[in-house]
Structure 1
Amino acid sequence: MPDIDTPYGKVDAEALQALQEAFDTFAILRVLDQLDAIRARCCDPAGLQDDLLRLHGMAHTVINGAALSCSTTGPTLVDQADAIVEELDDWILLFRQAVQVLRQLESLRPGDER
């Protein structure tokens, strides 16, 4: 099938037809919602940045023998690291899912640009 012109450039007509039948454009908005939740978690005062700073302080004390720089109450060094790793693993999964959603739109690339 030939390429066709759209208001946003040429696209592969066959890929367009397939996406019109199966692609949920609201999936892009769901990606946006997930990204916004991650952004909030990264930037909140009690977010990932603070968790990493606390982990650094704990590791710096335990590994380098530095003076205490944060409270000794709360999660242990290992628990703090585990929680951060688990959260980052969850984000990686969300980003991979987002890439899968958005990659479908690459099929619209016109034949002469492949």
Structure 2
Amino acid sequence: MPDIDTPYGKVDADALQALQDTFDTTAILSLVDQMDAIRARLCDPAGLRDDLLRLHGMAHTVINGAALSCSTSGPTLVEQAESILEELDDWILLLRRAVQSLQPLERLHSEA
């Protein structure tokens, strides 16, 4: 496997040729969009962070007998947990797909 110099370091020439024929670099841009969506949902008001804090308050009250720290209207403790778990499962799936879409780039690894 001969290596070839690129502006970003040595890569395996055969792997580069294969990727030039098959790899769609716009998949990386799609990942950027997906990460932006996760970042927005994670940090925005009423985002996952706030959902987790609400879940903590609910669990702290129910499990530890603490005073109420959030409204009792809205989702139940179980509904809140299930909603968060579903969203995290979706993100895990998305992140696994992201890993799979980027793994072909590892083939460029130079032996030198």
Match of 1:59 in 2: 59
Q: How does 1:29-44 map to 2 (within 5 A)?
A: 29-44=29-44
Cα displacement string for residues 69-108 of structure 1 (whole angstroms, at most 9, x for unaligned residues): 1111111100100000110111111111111111110100
Inter-partner Cα distance in structure 1 for 2:10 and 2:53: 48
Instruction: Report runs of 4+ in structure 1 exceeding 4 Å deviation.
Output: none
Unaligned ranges ≥5, structure 2? none
Inter-partner Cα distance in structure 1 for 2:19 and 2:86: 34
Unaligned ranges ≥5, structure 1? none
Inter-partner Cα distance in structure 1 for 2:58 and 2:6: 56
Q: TM-score if structure 1 supplies the norm length?
A: 0.95
Match of 1:109 in 2: 109
Inter-partner Cα distance in structure 2 for 1:69 and 1:32: 36
Question: Alignment RMSD, CA only?
Answer: 0.8
Q: CA deviation at 1:7?
A: 1.1
